[in-house]
Structure 1
Amino acid sequence: MSVGESVETEPRRRPGRAVRFGLIVTAVLLLLFGVPWWTLAWAGNRWPGALFAALTTVFVVAAAAFPLLMFSGHGARHRDGPARIADTLLGVVWVLFVWSILGNVLRAVLAVAGVADPGRSRIVTAVVALIALVLLLWGYAEAMRVPRVRRIDVVLPRLGAGLDELRLVLLTDTHYGPIDRARWSRRVTEVVNSLNPDIVAHTGDIADGEVAQRREQAAPLGDIRARLARVYVTGNHEYFSGAQRWVEHMASLGWEALHNRHVVVTRDGSSLVVAGVDDRTAAGSGVPGHHMDHEAALRGTDPDLPVLLLAHQPHQIDGAVAHGVDLQISGHTHGGQIWPFHYLVRLDQPVLQGLSHHGDRTQLYTSRGTGFWGPPFRVFAPSEITLLTLHSH
């Protein structure tokens, strides 16, 4: 620090920014809760006064309580009770919001067909409510189930013959959180071990909460077996929940924490560089020593060896291409988790899910995630445990 620099001991207050944030939050809440209210309670339904008042009260109370529950549940304290309510409410209102919009397309069709109100609006209300209920029940079951195994074959031309048919199991976005999923975690471990993996990789977002809060849920990760390596990198959610403590905890469970570093695995005379970089949000997190650094991760490697890179976000693929990586494995997107959030994810990420090619050499596999974040629902985006079989030709 130069003599001319000053230290800001207290953050500057920026009332304008706070006002803008408040206005944005208010606008989002009005849309999320207002559109379903208009469709289900108001519009042309002409419900009896008592029913209309009850529906309106439910939406008003939910809209007012939601930000308070969210800040209480996902703030610094990570209070699980409020978080469970807020997350579930977010999932419910999102599904109602989406299908309320689509329901108004049905309203237009019925109007053209000559169906008058209140019958027209009540048909729309019934259809929207029924579809939302079915999707939420199904989505909850999908979120809470042990993921199906997704089997993918990947050809890496530079892979040595001794590593042909190497079995790589990918876990990501387990998001151990407010809902206790210790039993689920044990069953995931059983599935992984049944696949007889050579390498098991976890590409981040282990948990929402500190190690002390999620220790029991994460404990089964210590029982995962792999012939050659168990490797892990941080995701963006680690930087809300003590990233360095999670790096150290994973190391204590026997995993190689690839904090901008690499290991080399060898079988039958052939070797593979397995490298990892911190999440792209790490540099702005304030955690000392954490930042995405491909050069450090690959420093000292043999340029003739193929490289497998762990990076939490598909967005990090540009660095992989620039450094000649053969295969990057990632998560982060959850495959969209609840349709049609998929389309918003694609605004930020180059890939939503699956195997893709980038540049002349680099391939990217993006998992839909093993767990879920926040709302305990998965709609048209099933979770997965991925078995990637690597082939040399």
Structure 2
Amino acid sequence: MTDNPAEIVEEAAHPPRGGRWRRTVVVTAVLALLFGVPWWTLLIAGAAWPTAVVVGGTALFVAALIALPTLLFTGHGRHRDLPAAVGDALLGVMWVLFVWSVLGNVAHLVLLAAGVEDPVRSRVIAAAVLVVSAALLVWGYVEAMRVPRVRPIEVQIPRLGRGLDGLRVAMITDTHYGPLDRAQWSADMVARVNDLDADVVCHVGDIADGTVQRRRNQASPLASVRASAARVYVTGNHEYFNEAQGWLDYMESIGWSALHNRHLVIERGGDRLVIAGVDDATAQGSGVHGHGEDLATALAGADPALPVLLLAHQPKQIPQAVAAGVDLQISGHTHGGQIWPFNVLVRLDQPAVQGLSRHGARTQLYTSRGTGFWGPPFRVFAPSEITLLTLRSV
């Protein structure tokens, strides 16, 4: 199970060993549904459009069906930004059309029960699907491209010493610097983070899609992030598609602490907090030497009496945190679903989609909706965020 609609193609472009045929079947089925349902709803299902409309519309769907996998595999598979960006946008358009076509067919049954006959019924549904989809795509694009709003969250941590009460932790994640050049967005996002005057700033993975060399221009504003106590970073799953060690080295080179299965300790007012980080859950299977989630190593040498803030990219890494007695894990990865209703599918793979949740007697998990986006440049009912976590002692 993937966590946003575009990752299906990303994973197909980087198939695991032995998984090529399974990925091919999945992608084929997805494409059939993605294009077939809107085609039927808009052109075929009782609307009795003129032949020229049906033929022209069908030709457009066929052209898009051929273009989508071509663009995505050429772009993401061969690391070419223009086809990747166009393919991502087309995928987002088709996902929204598919979702609202499905809902349109439900409305179709309501109109049928109300006695509205075809072709009026099907034409009304087709028009409604197009209007709603277009409006959501425009709104979703604006939501994806804007600088994220700050989401303030207070978290009570019983073991936190009073000297650390009020510690401000700014969290960004899933920036996904990629085919669209968002260097200015990156600079504006960093400026907003700096306005928070945080004690700790965390980047919780999926920094970019591509190597340091390809995405340095977009990532370079991160060097200007300010924090009074620490700036810390861990890898996400997308680093393991490209250059995980390269990104760890880059973040160290611009003054961040890369928590590659390790920890550091900060102190304020005579009290201390352990900040630990682990590799992404996919690291072990990536084949990158020396990488793999290892919380025991990350906490080795830490005083077990101290509270622990853990950076782990995926929420589903929480069982290890619970077993180790971690106080707070912060994660990203889910994008909050990014394009509704993908949040429902995300929940099948992850224990949380967004927000603060409790796991076990001690451990809390905060899951961010993400600071950027991946794939389609749209966010529908899943706004991006810069999270400001204020830690409170009890």
Normalising by the residue count of structure 1, what TM-score does the alignment of the two structures yield?
0.94
Q: Which residue of 1 aligns with 2:53?
A: 51
Q: 1:108 to 1:89 in 2, by over 3 A?
A: same
Q: Which residue of 1 aligns with 2:66?
A: 64
Measure, in 2, the Cα distance between the counterparts of 1:221 and 1:229.
Answer: 13
Q: Which residue of 2 aligns with 1:123?
A: 124
Answering whether residue 391 of structure 2 is matched by residue 390 of structure 1, we say yes
Following superposition, the deviation at residue 64 of structure 1 comes to 1.2
Answering whether residue 160 of structure 2 is matched by residue 156 of structure 1, we say no
Q: Which residue of 2 aligns with 1:238?
A: 239
Letter in structure 1 aligned against 2:174: D
Measure, in 1, the Cα distance between the counterparts of 2:19 and 2:218.
Answer: 38
Q: Which residue of 2 aligns with 1:27?
A: 29
Q: Which residue of 2 aligns with 1:227?
A: 228
Deviation sequence 1:308-365 (CA, Å, 0-9, x none): 0000000000000111101100000000100000010000000011011111111111
Answering whether residue 281 of structure 2 is matched by residue 290 of structure 1, we say no
Deviation sequence 1:219-271 (CA, Å, 0-9, x none): 00000000000000000000011100000001111100000000000112111
Q: 1:239 to 1:52 in 2, by over 3 A?
A: same
Measure, in 1, the Cα distance between the counterparts of 2:189 and 2:136.
Answer: 24
Q: Which residue of 2 aligns with 1:363?
A: 364
Measure, in 2, the Cα distance between the counterparts of 1:90 and 1:56.
Answer: 17
Following superposition, the deviation at residue 35 of structure 1 comes to 0.4
Measure, in 2, the Cα distance between the counterparts of 1:264 and 1:392.
Answer: 17
Answering whether residue 329 of structure 2 is matched by residue 328 of structure 1, we say yes
Q: Secondary structure at the match of 1:41?
A: helix
Q: Which residue of 1 aligns with 2:13?
A: none
Measure, in 2, the Cα distance between the counterparts of 1:19 and 1:266.
Answer: 52
Letter in structure 1 aligned against 2:327: D
Measure, in 2, the Cα distance between the counterparts of 1:327 and 1:104.
Answer: 44
Following superposition, the deviation at residue 68 of structure 1 comes to 1.2
Gaps of 5+ in 2: 1-17
Q: Between Structure 1 and Structure 2, how many residues are aligned?
A: 377
Q: Which residue of 2 aligns with 1:269?
A: 270
Following superposition, the deviation at residue 22 of structure 1 comes to 3.4
Normalising by the residue count of structure 2, what TM-score does the alignment of the two structures yield?
0.94
Measure, in 2, the Cα distance between the counterparts of 1:365 and 1:346.
Answer: 15
Q: Which residue of 1 aligns with 2:180?
A: 179
Measure, in 2, the Cα distance between the counterparts of 1:347 and 1:374.
Answer: 21
Following superposition, the deviation at residue 27 of structure 1 comes to 2.1
Measure, in 2, the Cα distance between the counterparts of 1:211 and 1:52.
Answer: 47
Measure, in 1, the Cα distance between the counterparts of 2:107 and 2:369.
Answer: 31
Answering whether residue 158 of structure 2 is matched by residue 167 of structure 1, we say no
Q: Secondary structure at the match of 1:350?
A: coil
Deviation sequence 1:193-231 (CA, Å, 0-9, x none): 110000000000000111111001000000000000000
Deviation sequence 1:145-167 (CA, Å, 0-9, x none): 00000000011111111111000
Measure, in 1, the Cα distance between the counterparts of 2:308 and 2:236.
Answer: 20
Q: 1:18 to 1:230 in 2, by over 3 A?
A: closer
Q: Which residue of 1 aligns with 2:44?
A: 42
Measure, in 2, the Cα distance between the counterparts of 1:311 and 1:194.
Answer: 25
Identity of counterpart residues, as a percentage? Answer: 67
Q: Which residue of 1 aligns with 2:216?
A: 215
Following superposition, the deviation at residue 25 of structure 1 comes to 2.4
Q: Which residue of 2 aligns with 1:253?
A: 254
Q: Which structure has the greater CA radius of gyration? A: 1
Measure, in 1, the Cα distance between the counterparts of 2:283 and 2:165.
Answer: 34
Bigger RCO of structures 1 and 2 (CA < 8 A, at least 6 apart): 2
Q: Which residue of 2 aligns with 1:10?
A: none
Deviation sequence 1:255-293 (CA, Å, 0-9, x none): 000000000001121110000000000000000000000
**Within-5 A mapping of 1:94-109:** 94-109=95-110
Q: Secondary structure at the match of 2:170?
A: strand
Measure, in 1, the Cα distance between the counterparts of 2:321 and 2:19.
Answer: 36
Q: Secondary structure at the match of 1:167?
A: strand
Q: Secondary structure at the match of 2:190?
A: helix
